[in-house]
Amino acid sequence: MSGFDDVNYHFRKAARVMDLSPHVERMLVTPFREVKVDVSITLDNGELGTFIGYRVQHDKSRGPMKGGLRYHPTVDLDEALGLASLMTWKTAVVNLPFGGAKGGIAVDPDTLSPRELERLTRCFVQQIHDIIGPQTDIPAPDVNTNAQVMAWIMDEYSKIHGFSPAVVTGKPVDLFGSKGREEATGRGAVFALEEHLRGAGLGEVRGRTFAVQGFGNVGSWVARFLHERGGKVVAVADARGGVANPEGLDIPRLVEHAKRTRTVAGFPGCDAITNEDLLVLGVDVLVPAALGAVITDANARDVRARIVLEAANAPTTPKADEILAQRGVTVLPDIYVNAGGVTVSYFEWAQNIQQFMWEEDKITAELQRHMREAYATLARLVRERSVSFRTAAFILAIGRVGRATVLRGV
């Protein structure tokens, strides 16, 4: 199954519970627009580098489309389609006035110099500037893109359309980014877990054990917030390797190590662990926070955690999802768990439109409110409909997007 098929599998499962008509189902699944562009730049050595860029706009019934840009060799139309549709459902789960989009460039950014990366980003904006915009489609950071990349996007777009900070979120705070945006996805994921632990009468983060896959923006912030709350992060892995310590890793020191060496591997005082072993470690909570499709039918039976906190997008394949459900493992789904990033992106966009800055306390409190309200609705749907959290999240999202679509008229 492709990434888009995977998302639509979950969509259809929820649609069956809702008794959605096949016509509405087809309309909601169908993407609004798919764009594929040539991004050719002059490399530092004078040669021509040709890359392919993508932007998929999935649904705009509830507002401007919103979603990240990923720079990774696996980026293609299917991946962008799947991730764009996830954004439609995610923005609806946390009730933001946005639709869904996603995109990126098929490139390994480690092979480019900073100047090449800047040229690549600016060229991509020149190719897609007429389909993005503050009221149309607002990109944001994702895998291998960061605040600096967002600053280049804002600058290039503004050269063509006039000063437009609201065209992109996740910008540096000095360039009208929002306080709290960098850590928002990680913070939101930990709020989601806390809501669940409280809601299910399972206590708190303190004293529990965690394994985190991915130590970039999302994984490193999840680990920091868990550590701050007294959680024991016993294993962490990234693309270059992993480290484990049953006594719990010193996360602030690990963050420093990873900044210096660009990997968690080799952190002193712990054992090495592979990504495969990390996923099946005996911990209370497993946190996939890297790429998609890492929990599959090949390893789902071996997952020993009782809770999977999906900080990454689409880390669990549909077959693995069924296996985990049969085994009584609670999966808190991506379209709820990692919605903190787009929620604070919404606050950033709103601040840019109002030309006003919010203080971080307000941002954190509002983020927690969004995560809390969404959890309360999801938990009620889980109880009333006897469904998983994922199906509940899709029911909630499809209801909101479906009503907006029908009210606006076809």
Distance CA 345, CA 366 (A): 12
Please tell me whether residue 176 binds ligand NAD under the rule CB under 6 A.
no
In the complex, the smallest distance separating the C-beta of residue 20 from ligand NAD, rounded to whole angstroms, is 26
Please tell me whether residue 205 binds ligand NAD under the rule CB under 6 A.
no
List b or e across 329-348, with b for residues whose CB sees 16 or more CB atoms inside 10 angstroms.
bbbbbbbbbbbbbbbbbbbb
Catalytic residue among 13, 90, 102, 171: 102
Number of residues that bind ligand NAD (CB under 6 A): 24
In the complex, the smallest distance separating the C-beta of residue 219 from ligand NAD, rounded to whole angstroms, is 6
Which tokens in the block code for residue 366?
């509002």
In the complex with ligand NAD, the residue whose CB is nearer, 296 or 405, is 296
Please tell me whether residue 53 binds ligand NAD under the rule CB under 6 A.
no
Interface residue with ligand NAD, options 61, 144, 209, 388 (CB under 6 A)? 144
Q: By rule CB under 6 A, what string of x and - marks binding of each residue 227-246 to ligand NAD?
A: ----------xxx-------
Q: By rule CB under 6 A, what string of x and - marks binding of each residue 328-367 to ligand NAD?
A: ----------x--x--------------------------
102 given a catalytic annotation = yes
Q: By rule CB under 6 A, what string of x and - marks binding of each residue 18-37 to ligand NAD?
A: --------------------
CB within 8 Å of 239: residues ≥ 6 apart: 263, 290
In the complex, the smallest distance separating the C-beta of residue 410 from ligand NAD, rounded to whole angstroms, is 31
Please tell me whether residue 57 binds ligand NAD under the rule CB under 6 A.
no
List b or e across 138-167, with b for residues whose CB sees 16 or more CB atoms inside 10 angstroms.
bbbbbbbbebbbbbbbbbbbeeeeeebbbb
- Using CB positions, name the residue nearest to ligand NAD: 216
Distance CA 335, CA 370 (A): 13
Tokens 């705070």: give the residue. 173
Say if CB 67 and CB 341 are below 8 A apart. Answer: no
In the complex with ligand NAD, the residue whose CB is nearer, 341 or 402, is 341
List b or e across 169-202, with b for residues whose CB sees 16 or more CB atoms inside 10 angstroms.
bbbeeeebbbbbbbbbbbbbbbbbbbbbbeeeee
In the complex with ligand NAD, the residue whose CB is nearer, 183 or 195, is 183
Residue 250 DSSP label: -
Three-state DSSP class for 242? strand
Q: By rule CB under 6 A, what string of x and - marks binding of each residue 255-294 to ligand NAD?
A: --------------------x-------------xxx---
Say if CB 210 and CB 307 are below 8 A apart. Answer: no
Which tokens in the block code for residue 181?
């945006």
Please tell me whether residue 313 binds ligand NAD under the rule CB under 6 A.
yes
Which residues have a catalytic role annotated?
102
Residues forming contacts to ligand NAD in the complex (CB under 6 A) are: 141-144, 185, 213-219, 237-239, 275, 289-291, 311-313, 338, 341
